[in-house]
Structure 1
Amino acid sequence: MKYFAVFLPMKDEEKTQQHRPAHLEFLARMKKEKKVAMFGRFTDGAGGLVIYQGENLEQVESWVKQDPYVVNDARTYEIHEWDMVSDA
Structure 2
Amino acid sequence: MPWFVKIERGIVNKAIFDQHVPAHMAYVKDLVAKGHQARSGYWAERGGGMLLFQAESLEDAEAIVAADPLIANHCVEYELHQWCIVVE
Q: TM-score, normalised by structure 1?
A: 0.88
Between the two proteins, the alignment pairs up a number of residues equal to 87
1:32 is the counterpart of 2:33: yes
1:15 aligns with 2:16: yes
Equivalent AA in structure 2 for residue 3 of structure 1: W
Structure 2 residue runs without a partner (length 5+): none
Is contact 2:28-2:38 (8 Å) kept? no
Quick one: distance in 2 between partners of 1:37 and 1:19?
A: 18
Distance 2:78 2:2 in 1: 18
In the TM superposition, 1:44-63 aligns within 5 A as 44-63=45-64
Q: Please give the TM-score of this superposition, normalised by the length of structure 2.
A: 0.88
Specify the SS of the correspondent of 2:75.
coil
Percent pairwise identity: 29
- How far residue 9 of structure 1 moved from its aligned partner, in angstroms, is 1.1
Q: Mark the runs of 5 or more structure 1 residues left unpaired by the alignment.
A: none
2:63 maps to amino acid? S
Cα displacement string for residues 33-56 of structure 1 (whole angstroms, at most 9, x for unaligned residues): 112432211111121111110121
Deviation for aligned residue 1:58: 1.0
Q: In the alignment, which residue of structure 2 is the partner of 1:64?
A: 65
Secondary structure of the structure 2 residue equivalent to 1:50? strand
CA apart distance, 1:66: 0.6
